[in-house]
Amino acid sequence: MQHLSPLQIRQQCRSGSFSGNTSGLAPGFVQANMAILPKAYAADFLQFCHFNPKPCPLLGMATAPGAFDMPALAAELDIRTDLPKYRIFQQGQLSAEVSDVRSYWRDDLVTFLIGCSFSFEEALLADGLEIRNITEQVNVPMYRTNLSCTPAGVFHGGMVVSMRPMTPANAIRAIQICSRFPQVHGAPVHFGNPEAIGISDISRPDFGDAVSIKPGEVPVFWACGVTPQVAIANAKLDFCITHSPGHMLLTDLKNSQLSVF
């Protein structure tokens, strides 16, 4: 799979021959979180992203309700089939996990794509920094915090953060690198004392897996793309579709194209 282009991977998703985790696929290309909401909620959600750009950096938005392409981000895209796995939520509850959402499609659905930490992790690795969750082959640990997002309409909730332990010198380098990438969460939001942002037990993440923190390292916290998912859950929408965790949309955009300098 790893040698395939983003378009080829999307085509394999569409044909049903691939429905797996996208971590490590199509190195160098941007992978995106996805949320598809009824038009009635789209303006609120767009405002929520605008108000909270660090956890909800908007990479793209469908040009019109019902549109399932996004030519600026992915050639020949059919958003209804080109992700490996989707989650369907009805009345605020997960109701199905599927690899094709054409039977759920409606003309009032608006698609949003949101930046993902895979992009900045690649930039950190390319610079020689170690990323503990990759070394330990687990999901990145994620935590609910007491940092609140600015609410917009029905969307509200706390910021969720991901954590990667680093030495202070490496954390400083990571801050420099991630500052180049505001569309994939940008610079960290906190480092050091977890309790300062409302995390009572660093060894028990709310999402993902715990990783080891070595002597001389501090936990470094980034705003996380799970934040908009929590805000969507809090909104108890009658209907929405998201990607399944780790099963992202492969776009044709290069990670390097997201760098602002």
Considering the complex, state which of residue 38 and residue 198 has its C-beta at the smaller distance from a copy of itself. Answer: 198
Kindly tell me which residue out of 189, 230, 241, 248 binds a copy of itself, with binding defined by CB under 8 A.
189
Kindly tell me which residue out of 14, 87, 190, 243 binds a copy of itself, with binding defined by CB under 8 A.
190
Q: What is the rounded distance in angstroms from the CA atom of residue 53 to the CA atom of residue 132?
A: 25
- Residues constituting the chain: 261
Q: Which stretch binds a copy of itself (CB under 8 A): 1-9, 70-78, 120-128, 165-173?
A: 165-173
| 254 bridge partner residues | 29
Closest distance of CB 141 from a copy of itself, Å: 18
Q: What is the rounded distance in angstroms from the CA atom of residue 170 to the CA atom of residue 176?
A: 10
Residue 231 engages a copy of itself in binding (rule: CB under 8 A): no
Closest distance of CB 158 from a copy of itself, Å: 16
Q: What is the rounded distance in angstroms from the CA atom of residue 192 to the CA atom of residue 178?
A: 17
Closest distance of CB 188 from a copy of itself, Å: 6
Q: Which stretch binds a copy of itself (CB under 8 A): 46-54, 132-140, 192-200, 229-237?
A: 192-200
Q: What is the rounded distance in angstroms from the CA atom of residue 108 to the CA atom of residue 30?
A: 27
Residue 171 engages a copy of itself in binding (rule: CB under 8 A): yes
CB atoms within 10 A of CB 34: 22
Closest distance of CB 122 from a copy of itself, Å: 20
Q: Which stretch binds a copy of itself (CB under 8 A): 42-50, 56-64, 66-74, 164-172?
A: 164-172
Residue 187 engages a copy of itself in binding (rule: CB under 8 A): yes
Kindly tell me which residue out of 24, 66, 71, 168 binds a copy of itself, with binding defined by CB under 8 A.
168
Residue partners of 97: CB distance under 8 A and separation at least 6: 85, 86, 87, 88, 244
Kindly tell me which residue out of 176, 203, 212, 257 binds a copy of itself, with binding defined by CB under 8 A.
176
Query: Are 250 and 28 contacting, i.e. CB atoms less than 8 angstroms apart?
Result: no
Residue partners of 257: CB distance under 8 A and separation at least 6: 30
What tokens does 95 get? 């109701």
Q: What is the rounded distance in angstroms from the CA atom of residue 235 to the CA atom of residue 42?
A: 12
The binding site for a copy of itself (CB under 8 A) comprises 168-169, 171-172, 175-176, 179, 187-193, 196, 216, 218, 261
